[in-house]
Each structure stands twice: as structure tokens, then as C-alpha cells.
Structure 1
Amino acid sequence: MTQALVRRIFFSLLALIMAAPLLVVLGVSINSKKSLTFPPQGFNMGWYLDLFRMPDWSGALLNSTIIALFSASFAVAIAFPLAWFNWRYRLGWVKAILAIGLIPFLLPPVITAMGFLSFWTQTGLYGQYWTVVVSHGIFLVSLPLVALALGFGSLDDSLSEAAATMGANNRTILRTVILPLVRPYVISGFAFAFVVSLNEYLVAYMTVGPVLETLPMKIFNSLRYGYTPVMASASIFFVVVTVVVFSLVARLGDLPRLLGAHTK
């Protein structure tokens, strides 16, 4: 048995082990009976329809989508000027700010969530709808920040210098030269933040849980009243959205490079 064959068998088994829980959830989501059984007893895709036609589930899905869109936009709005300023001027204190921007995502989520809860409570703004958007944006800013840092790091300095010698100011250079080149990194940073925000539970629960229910909250809250296959269909929906988003990112740019791989 050759080494290549052993390696192939090993990684095939590893992929199967990692995919096994997802396959179980997929089977449960199409079970015709309202029970947590696998293999599925019958076939019923109606649970996926319930995710969109039942007001409580569709409302939670809409809340999660809106929060994820605004949170990802807010995260990119913070990350872009920081990454650009660091690339343009390369000052030490800017690198310190970039390092601080990574801290919320590196800490355990429960610690970050407790910090946001304490902050919004002390300011008297706890329970406002927009606090979860701000919290998610700050919590996830490291994702577009890393992607944009890679994008700006791949730029050739001579491009902006050539544009400057032709009379373009900093705003024109940013709009006509820099932005088109880093656009794939902006999109990938937005996509990463969107997917994580869509699936995030702790920060959302700590900042706006009693007022606004997201889809992850709905799944956890429904467990109190008994199992329903709609929970499994919601989980598969998350997986499908993640695959679609990252497939689009891979199509728009070099995904290994966007994920930090070095190219020769």
C-alpha cells in the first residue's frame, strides 16, 4: 500500500467523520415524523417550507438576515479605513489599533458578550434594536480587517505613485486605483462577517435577546417546548447559505489568497 493511498484513505475517513453529524441532521430534517430519529422514517420536505411560512420562524430568519447585513456593513466600514491608513502611512500606532481590533474575536465569545451586556446596560441603551448591529460589527471587525490587510498588502506602491505624478489626489487614487483592486477583499470580508453574524447566538442574546429573536435564538428557545424537524431544516439552511456565500467568494477572487495563503 503506497503512502499516497494511505493518505487518501486517511483524509477520506476524516472527511466522513466530520460530515457524519451533518448527514444525520439532513436526514432528520426530511423525516416525515415529528421525531428525532435517524435514519428518517419517510420523506417530507415540508419542514423547510415551515421555516419560511410560519410567522415565528420566518420572522426570526428575517431578523437574522437584516442584522447580518447591517453588521457586516458596519464591520467593513470600520475595517476599510483602518487597513487603508495602515497601508498608506505605515505608522506604529496604527498597527496597535489593528491589534486591538482583533481582540474581540480572539476572546471567548461569552467574555465578549458579557462585555457588551455590561456596556449597554451602563449606558442605558440595553434592549435597543440597533445595539446588536453595533455589537456584531465590533465583534466581527477582525474578519474584514484581516482580509483587507491582505488585499492592501498585495498592492504595488508604484501604482499610487504613478497616479500621483499624473496629478491625482488621495481621494481620486483611492476611488479609481485602490478600490477596484481591493474590491474582492472587501466582498470577502463582508461575506465572512455576514455568515458568522447570521449564525452568532451569544452576543445577540446578551445585547438584544429579550426584545428581538434571531434564528439561532429561535432554535434554542424552541428546545424548551420539544423537538421539531424545523430546527434541523434551519441548521441545514445555515449550511447551505454558508456554502453558497463562500462559493461566490471563491468565484470572485482567489479564495486561498483571501484566506491568507501565500503565493509565489
Structure 2
Amino acid sequence: MRNRKGKWTNDKQKRFVLLVDIMGFSAFVQDTPFAEARKKLECFRRSLDTRSENLLKGGHLKLAFFSDSILVVTESDTPEDLNRISKAGVVLMQESFNNGFAIKGCLAHGKFLYDAGESIFFGLPLVDAYRLGDQELKYYGIIVHHTAEKMIRKLNEPFKKTINGKEKQQGNNAYIYSRVPLKSSGWSCHCHLAWNLYDETLRFPVDNTPKCKLNLEEIELTVSGAPRIYIDNTRDVMERDRKLYNDEEGANPVLFPIREEK
């Protein structure tokens, strides 16, 4: 335990850092009675904990809530760590939609200090994730900062792992390079997590877009005006990713990351 704690509190340890924000949180707090808001947030947290249970086993992945943000951090930056945090991103997207919340975020990489005991979360990856995800992203999803993009190109290959005496294939997470909407520059090509290509058991690649769209329709009924742009953009990104995946489906297996031809 001391050795593992040492790893987590090492400020020179390179990690994957995922920061996501709950959209419309201020309006939710203002417009929802306290008891009702608390109940809804607690329900969201419980469902998230249940879905994340296997990913959090072994202590290689940490998840923390604070205000309208959720932070996910890996112990290191191995292929297994990339696989864990990618699936954690999918769980966050699925469970937020299932509970009536819309989120957006960014995956970054670099030296990061995670000390839950002292409540210190510090490092450039958190700043990078905030600037690109919170300040720039204009759809519901998870974009990849260039620091993590380099690691995805390096590590996002299938790898084998022995589980209960059986060798199983893992990795090769569903990342796609295609145009996504940004506030300052419009639509531009960025690596992002194609979370609509995972089913509820985290099996992939599976075209789960119809289910994701149904959940998006539920979110749509809770907003008007400017937030509808996020709804439209999210549909567009999912359709682009779905088409790219369907075009590659003849390959066995489909190899990620898939890149949109310019």
C-alpha cells in the first residue's frame, strides 16, 4: 500500500488525465429544489460507481467529483492505463446521458500529482484538459489533447493480457480523427473518443449510435436556445464517426484510430 501511495503522490509520474464538465450545472442548481437536485446527483454518482467498479479494481484508476467537474486519473501511462481511462470516458458519457446530464471533456497526458489525502490535484495536463475541453469544445463528447494524441498513436494497439488463466485481447480503443466543432475555430480535425461505438457492456466496436441518440433526445427536451447547438453538433459528430466505422467494417478487425480522409 505504501508503494502504491508513493506512485500516486509522485509529482513526476506521467499519467492520463480526463477532465469532464457537467453542462448547464449552474442552471440546474438554481432551478431545481435542493432535495431533488441532491437526489438526482446521488443517483448519477451511484450508477457511475456501479458501472466503474471493475475499472477501479486494483487501484490503477482514480475518480473524483468536485462541483460540476469529474476528474479521472490513471496510475501511469501504459497501454492498460489508456484502455482503462478510455472505457471510463465511455462510462461517463453513457451514465451522464442515462441520468439526464450532458457532459463534455478532454483527455490529456503528462506529469501530474494526484494526492487524494491532501486534496491536491496538480499538473499541466489538468490545465490542458480544461482549456481544450471546457473552453473550446462545442459538442457533448471527449476530445483528445495533442499530448495524449501522441500516446494514443504509440499505445493504441491490441495487447494480450492473462485474466483468470485465459489470454484475452484488450486495447485498440475506439478513437477517431475527424472534424469536431470548436468555439474559436469552427469544425476542425481532432482525435476524439467515439463513445457511440461501445455498448453498455463496454464491448466494441459496436454501433450503439441509435441508443445514444435516444438518450440525446431526452436531453434535448430539457434545453432551448443556444444549448440546442450542442445537441445538433453531437448528432453530427456521432453520424460522422458512425459512417467512418461502417466504411471500415469490412476489415477484420477494424483498426483504430480511424482517420477521416480530407
**TM-score (normalizing by structure 1):** 0.23
Greater length-normalized contact order (CA 8 Å, ≥ 6 residues apart): 1
The answer to which structure has the higher helix fraction is 1
Q: Which has the larger radius of gyration?
A: 1
Q: By percentage of residues, which structure has more strand?
A: 2
